Each structure stands twice: as C-alpha cells, then as structure tokens.
Amino acid sequence: MSEPEQGREAALDELFEQDDAAGEQAAVDAAAALVQGVSGSSSFDFSRPTKISRQFEKNLITFAEAFAKSSSLGLTSMLRANTGIGYRGLEVMNFGEFVGAMPPVTCAVNIGLAPLNGLSLLHFDAGMIYLMMMRLLGGPIEACRVERKFTDIELGVARLVIDKLLGHIAEGAEKLVTMQPTFVHLENNPAYLTTVSAGEPVLLVRFEISLEELRGPLDLCIPLTAFEPVWHRFDPEENSEFRTPEEVRRDRQLLFEVVKGATADVVVNLADVNLSFESVLELKEGDVLPLYKSLQSPLVLEVQGKPMFRGLTGKLNQNRALKLTERLDEEE
C-alpha cells in the first residue's frame, strides 16, 4: 500500500471513532471528501430513477422512430423546406434535473397524452421554434436567438407547429395505444414549470430537429407514473412468441409425456340428497336412504372434482360399470 493510501485510511479510522452526533456528521462529510480523492471513484445519487426494462425501451423506440419519420414528412410539407426530426435516445432522470439543464429562455409546452395520466412536456429550443414560426410567415432560414417571451401573435403561430407535432405523436403511438394529445400551456421561463414535482422520475425521449443546415433539440418528457393505465401495452408481463403448428404439436406431445403418468381422482356421482342435520345424526347401519332417481337416469363422471362425462350404469364381467354417453361442455 502506498504512503498516500495509508494516510487516507488512517484519517478515515480517526474520523469514524467520534461518538457524538455532530462528530458523526463531520466524520461523514470529511470521509466523503477523502473518498473523492481516490482515483476512479465518483459519487452516486441513490434518489436517481432506475432504468426501464428492455421491452419497455424497445416499444418506446418503436414509437419514437415512427413519430420522427411521420413528423419529418409533415413539417417538410408545412414549412416548405427540408425538415427532419431524428431520434437521439432515451433517458430516465428526475424532473428537476431536466428543468435545471434548460436555458433561461426556452419553449416548454405542457401537453396531455390521454390515456396517459397527468401532464407531459414537449420541449423545443427557443431559437428553432422561432425559426419555424418565421418560416411559416415567409421568412428566410437563418439562425435565430431568442431572449424574451413570445408575444401573443407569436404564441398563436407557435401553436400551428405544436398542434402539427401533437398529431404526429398520436400517429407514432397508434401501434401501441390510441393516444389523444392536447395542448395545455406554453411557458418560456423554465422556473415556472410545474408539470410534476422536481423529484418525480421522468422518461426523456430525445430528438433533434434539422431545418436545412440548422439544428436544435426537441425533447418529449413523460412522467413514469403517467404510463400506469397503459403500462401493460408498453411492458407486457408475458411476451407472446410465434410458434409454427409443428412446434405447437411437438410441445403438446412433450407435455403429454410428462403428465401421462400422473394419477387423477375419478368419481361417479350417484345422486345428491338434501338432509337436515338432525336426520344425518340419526343415520345408522341398515337404514335405507331413498335417492329419488330412476335406474335409467344417466350419472355424471367427475375428474378431479370437475364434471366431464355423462353415462349409463351396467355390468361388465360381473362388475358394475359406467358406459360414457356424452362429454360435458366446460360451462356445464
């Protein structure tokens, strides 16, 4: 062990020998500072959300790519310029972390994505959405820098682009769920965003918008709790796997080979009689219990307590027997 490492271990031992609460907290703080000096070490935020499942991610990517393709065609036609939206990846983080990375002036749109719960967020680069607005009004394609809130007129023009993208979100999700996106509110100041609480885990679907040679980010932020009503569509518990008829027959034969040696209780139900508890207590050997059932009436054969056949009684080699005459439906 090197001299710096020996000195660090000695300092840690000394710090954790303190008994009082204040000393313990000081020890923890100082220990963290010492550990930061260890080569290759880094802090970990245990409140950070965990990753989503592979199947969930696969379905979200399918949605994201379908949205990107559809919206690229739609915006190109709308803006009369070569416009593309490309999928860039998925992230899971806290909402506060996402908002904290936004610039002071941005374009964040609260939207509803029914049947998903609550609100979600569609986030544009302010300069890119402003360029699209100017393009709709016949302006040139050149970089825009926005350092102020949108005017009422600009908000109205921005709604045209936003509503167009909301329609493409519905198209992208149609293979998974019938989604009904709605516009709620546009906010230019990220400090005023109250879509969800800062500690709420959210799923971030990242895209990039390109308008001719200019590029800017586009993010779709959805709280993980919003997926609750349709979670089974994005992350099914059992994934059905396609099998050929030959594979189905083979699997059934293998299953039969496994269970054919098992035993089952087979009971022929002669009749049902209702007696009072007093009559049951008075029963004794030699009593005759009338069954009120014809000798020619069919009897029911039960397998493991489940009625499966009807049959008629008879004899076979001096033994009582039951000739099966009818297989019962499951409803019976």
Considering the domain architecture, whether residues 70 and 167 belong to the same structural domain is answered as yes
Q: What is the pLDDT of residue 10?
A: 63
Considering the domain architecture, whether residues 138 and 215 belong to the same structural domain is answered as yes
**Which pLDDT tens digit goes with each residue over 139-169?**
898 888 888 899 999 999 999 999 999 999 9
Q: What is the pLDDT of residue 261?
A: 76
What's the CATH code of the domain at 268? 2.30.330.10
Q: Which of 59-73, 181-195, 296-310 has the lowest mean pLDDT?
A: 296-310
Q: What is the pLDDT of residue 242?
A: 46
Instruction: Give the type of residue at 95.
Output: F
Taking 60 as the threshold, does the pLDDT of residue 31 lie above it? Answer: no
Q: What is the pLDDT of residue 165?
A: 95
Considering the domain architecture, whether residues 26 and 74 belong to the same structural domain is answered as no
What's the CATH code of the domain at 213? 3.40.1550.10
**Total domains present in the chain:** 3
Q: Tokens for 200? A: 């709420």
User: Does 127 reside within a domain?
Assistant: yes
Alpha-carbon gap, residue 220 to 205, rounded angstroms = 5
**Which pLDDT tens digit goes with each residue over 80-127?**
999 999 999 999 999 999 999 999 999 999 999 999 999 999 999 999
pLDDT category of residue 298 using cuts at 50, 70 and 90: confident
User: Does 299 reside within a domain?
Assistant: yes
Residues 6+ apart with CB under 8 A from 5: none
**Cα four-point dihedral sign 300, 301, 305, 307:** negative
pLDDT category of residue 243 using cuts at 50, 70 and 90: low
Q: What is the pLDDT of residue 167?
A: 95
Q: Using an 8 Å Cβ cutoff, are 235 and 53 in contact?
A: yes
Q: Tokens for 94? A: 């806290």
Q: Percentage of the chain with pLDDT > 70?
A: 81
The number of CA neighbours under 13 Å toward the Cβ of 149 is: 8
Considering the domain architecture, whether residues 116 and 25 belong to the same structural domain is answered as no
Considering the domain architecture, whether residues 138 and 222 belong to the same structural domain is answered as yes
H helix and E strand count, the chain: 9, 10
User: Which residue range(s) make up the domain with 201?
Assistant: 54-234
Alpha-carbon gap, residue 43 to 315, rounded angstroms = 83
Considering the domain architecture, whether residues 127 and 32 belong to the same structural domain is answered as no
Considering the domain architecture, whether residues 165 and 58 belong to the same structural domain is answered as yes
Number of neighbouring beta carbons within 10 Å of residue 100 = 10
| pTM (predicted TM-score) | 0.58
Considering the domain architecture, whether residues 146 and 9 belong to the same structural domain is answered as no
User: Does 21 reside within a domain?
Assistant: yes
Strand 201-211 to 214-223 pairing: antiparallel
Considering the domain architecture, whether residues 128 and 98 belong to the same structural domain is answered as yes
Closest CA to 214 of 134, 153, 269, 278: 134
Considering the domain architecture, whether residues 147 and 76 belong to the same structural domain is answered as yes
Q: Tokens for 160? A: 């045209």
